[in-house]
Amino acid sequence: MKNLIKKLTEAFGPSGYEKKVRKLIYDEIKNYVDSTKTDKLGNLITHIKGKGIKVMFAAHMDEIGVVTSYIDKNGFIRFSNVGGFFPVHSLTARVIFANGSVGVIGEEQRKTMSDPIEMKKLYIDIGARNKKEAEKLVPIGSFGCYQRKFQDMGQRITSKAFDDRIGCAVLIEAAKRLKQKVKNDTYFVFTTQEEVGLKGARTSAFDVAPDIALAIDVTGTGDTPDAKKMAVELGGGAAIKVKDRGIVCDPRIVDALISTAKKNNIPYQLEVLERGTTDATAIQLTKGGVPAGAISIPTRYVHSASEVLDTDDVDAAVRLIVAFLKKDRSSIID
Ligand code: CO
Ligand code: ZN
């Protein structure tokens, strides 16, 4: 599975520019589902036919990034954020644009080192010698994302864009292990523009009209030096979301996930996330309402160029989804 994760995370795909990621996912999953379609906002909706209730799983294809907004006479490029771009993670990181141009993120001289690192003081150095050269390489309105190679650290791995290519990889792997044998009418949806407001999830859920829905995404951890108190850690298993900033997960779904994990000896932990949310929040409020929840992969340094996670947690999430779909889930909404 590491090869698949490498391919997915190294692909270019800031919000609105998910095409390359979608193609990779389509090629990987097409033989393990009954049908696929791409909707008007670019969501890839795949269907594994089954009797019973409609269950939708969603993982987003887009990643955070930058968009260029101004070029000065010396060719330095100012930019705006695409989603939750953290200036503190970005200094001297490289960004790549759709045409392959690469730039380095620099910062105006700070007066004192204790001054905050602010977005408006950052610029991209594309290696241009003047405005004209820069404009040619990276015109205003160019979208970019971090450029960083996947690195296998053994049990743990690091890369950009685990948020949420790891969710995409988990669904692909689950589809492969399920071999189209499900006890629920199953949709695996790969959504667009999550990082800029859960947009693809909203429209694809309207179209699919699921009975219940689950997002697969990353969550933060409390296991690094002096971290904020949070009972989620790398290697602790798949995180079953209870609540985050945007959603109170349906307790029937939380309970079903817990009992599925227990029955199948799948390591799990419970997640309460104070900041951030997932596609589940948008899906929950589609049409007349959809009972929703989420399974998260614990991830350190989310929204940086070097996110870190544990492959055991990835495997636990895959097993949890497979076990969940192998049992008729109609009783959840009875
Ligand atoms: Co995110
Ligand atoms: Zn995410």
Q: Is there a domain that residue 190 lies in? A: yes
* pLDDT at site 16: 98
Please report whether residue 152 resides in a domain: no
| Same domain (yes/no): 38, 93 | no
Compute the distance from residue 254 Cα to the ligand 2 centre, in Å: 19
Question: Structural domain of residue 196, as residue ranges?
Answer: 2-63+160-332
Q: Helix or strand or coil: residue 301?
A: coil
Type of residue found at 71: I
Q: Which of 203, 168, 199 is nearest to 21 (CA)?
A: 168
- Out of 146, 181, 200, pick the residue that ends a domain: 146
Task: Please tell me the number of the ligand nearest to residue 303's CA.
Answer: 1
- Same domain? 29 vs 84: no
Residue 125 lies in a domain: yes
Strands 185-191 and 54-60: parallel
Residue 9 lies in a domain: yes
The residues annotated with a catalytic role in the active site are 194
How far is residue 224's CA from residue 288's CA, in Å, rounded to a whole number? Answer: 41
Task: Give me ligand 2 centre to Cα 193, in Å.
Answer: 10
If asked whether residues 85 and 10 sit together in one domain, one would say no
Tokens of 39: 């909707």
The last residue of one of the domains, among 146, 176, 192, is 146
In this structure, which residues have their CB less than 5 angstroms from ion ligand 1?
163
Domain assignment of residue 228, yes or no? yes
Statement to judge: residues 98 and 175 lie in one domain: no
Cβ-Cβ contacts under 8 Å for 331 (sequence gap 6 or more):
none
Please name which ligand lies nearest the alpha carbon of 302: 1
Number of structural domains (the chain) is 2
Assign 195 to helix, strand or coil: coil
| CA of residue 110 to ligand 1 center, whole Å | 28
208 and 94 together in one domain = no
* Pairwise CA distance, residues 228 & 53, whole Å: 39
Q: Among all chains, which residue has been given the structure tokens 């800031």?
A: 14
In tens digits, what is the pLDDT along the chain, a chain of 334 residues? 999 999 999 999 999 999 999 999 999 999 999 999 999 999 999 999 999 999 999 999 999 999 999 999 999 999 999 999 999 999 999 999 999 999 999 999 988 888 889 999 999 999 999 999 999 999 999 999 999 999 999 999 999 999 999 999 999 999 999 999 999 999 999 999 999 999 999 999 999 999 999 999 999 999 999 999 999 999 999 999 999 999 999 999 999 999 999 999 999 999 999 999 999 999 999 999 999 999 999 999 999 999 999 999 999 999 999 999 999 999 999 8
Say yes or no: 243 and 309 in one domain.
Answer: yes
Among the bound ligands, the one closest to the CA of 201: 2
**Is the same domain home to 133 and 228?**
no
Q: What tokens were used for 150?
A: 């996947």
Q: How far is the CA of 171 from the centre of ligand 2 (A)?
A: 14
Do 130 and 237 fall within a single domain?
A: no
Residue 162 CA to ligand 1 center (angstroms) comes to 9
In a domain, 263, yes or no: yes
Which ligand sits closest to the CA of 164? Answer: 2
Domain-ending residue, one of 90, 119, 146: 146
Task: Kindly identify the ligand whose nearest atom is closest to the C-alpha of 200.
Answer: 2
How many A from CA of 195 to the centre of ligand 2?
7
Please check whether residues 86 and 108 belong to one and the same domain. Answer: yes
> Is 153 domain-assigned?
no
pLDDT for the residue numbered 113: 83
254 φ, ψ (degrees, to nearest 5): -55, -50
DSSP category for residue 234:
T
* CATH, residue 94: 2.40.30.40
Cβ 184 vs Cβ 42: under 8 Å: no
Q: Which residue has the tokens 């971290």?
A: 227
Residue 290 has a CB neighbour count (10 Å cut-off) of 23
How does pLDDT run across 105-151, given as a tens digit for each residue? 999 998 888 888 999 999 999 999 999 999 999 999 999 999 999 99
Q: Tell me if 239 sits within 8 A of 232, measured CB to CB.
A: yes
Q: 141 and 23 in one domain?
A: no
Q: How much is the pTM?
A: 0.97
Say whether 43 sits in a helix, a strand or coil: coil
Distance, CA 167 to ligand 1 centroid (Å)?
11
**Residues 197 and 221 occupy one common structural domain:** yes
CATH code of the domain covering residue 249:
3.40.630.10
How many Å lie between the centroid of ligand 1 and the Cα of residue 83? 8
SS3 track for 264-282 = CCCCEEEEECCCCCCCHHH
Q: Tell whether 222 and 80 lie within a shared domain.
A: no
The answer to the question of residue 154 being in a domain is no
Alpha helices in 161-230 (DSSP H): 162-178, 199-208
